[in-house]
Amino acid sequence: MEAVRRAAGSDGFAIAFAATAIILSAALALPQPAFGGIAEDINAWLCGILRDTCNWIFAGQTSMLASIGADGVLSADFDQMLGGAGDVTMHDVVRGVWDAAILPIGCGMLSFVFTVQLIKVSQRMDGNASMPGVKEVVLMLVFFAVFLFLIQNSFDLMQAVYEVARLAIDRVVGLFGEGGEIDLAEVSIATTEDDVAALLAMLVVALVSWLVVIVAYVVALVVSWARAIQIYVMAAFSPIPLALVSLDETRQMGVGYLRNFAAVCLAGVIILVLLVSFPIVLGGLNAASAGAPVVDTVVGGLSYALQYLAMCVLLILSLVKSGSWARDILGG
């Protein structure tokens, strides 16, 4: 303790203490401010989360849209369009209905038409039994044999029409793929600017477009499945309209059936064209930057997102109208 008191009372200690006090006072008099930037950091962090969320939603949408293609109902074989439970498929059901219930009706209608035509010929031959009358009978027998063959093989004939449309679908797939090969993930539509309000608006648009994409996905599946069911049902009832073709008074009804069946088969090609071209149209929207993967402005990002939403709505409407477009192609 004595040594400490002597050191504290020395002139050197007093000088050192005074110098330290002066330095500390100067430091306090001229402070160097430190910038924390807490608000800016929070804003950047929040914008990053919103931006990543928007990009994740849009990437998920493009993946879902890419999964809709020809692989499945559109290009399936006629006997496997809708699958089945165990060893029984819907093809087996409609084939059984055609064979057991509808084919006898068609043959009966054809027999009735043949009887009516035979009565008409016999009435014309009452007055004179010349060879032209016999010729009419022979032609009528040939006519009956041809239509009987058509009716008895009507299900296979409808399957042949479907196979022609399926061949066209396979060729389209061979040219352009099923639509999934086009990568839209490289086009980001979330703005890079740290604007929370704009990114919140973008998030709202992304959520709405996600709902629309889900609806488009469901509509595409429903339209494809409905087409398959309609083809099966129309093929099962084909003997009746083919029998109607044999009578002059009902021929237009049978021709209308054949045209409608061909239109339903052709609708598959239209659906595939829509699904294949949809990603291409999305990738070429005006707001998408051709050289950069990201839209740099808030207005551009929102514009692209709204165009994206509009195109999804247009896809839904196009899928719903595919059947009527096919009928228009074949003359209504």
Amino acid at 214: I
Proportion of the chain above pLDDT 90, given as a percent: 22
Taking phi over 0 as left and psi of -120 to 50 as alpha, with beta for the rest, 331 belongs to left
The reported pLDDT for the residue numbered 292 is 44
Q: At what angle do helices 196-236 and 298-329 cross, to 10 degrees?
A: 10
Helical H runs in 9-37? 11-29
Which tens digit of pLDDT belongs to each residue from 310-323? 888 888 899 899 98
Quick one: average pLDDT of 232-245?
A: 93
pTM of the model: 0.74
Least confident of 140-144, 193-197, 212-216: 193-197
Query: Distance (Å, rounded) from C-alpha 209 to C-alpha 257?
Result: 39
- Using an 8 Å Cβ cutoff, are 293 and 187 in contact? yes
Which tens digit of pLDDT belongs to each residue from 44-89? 888 888 888 887 887 777 677 666 655 667 888 888 887 766 678 8
- Domain locations along the chain: 1-33, 40-94+152-329
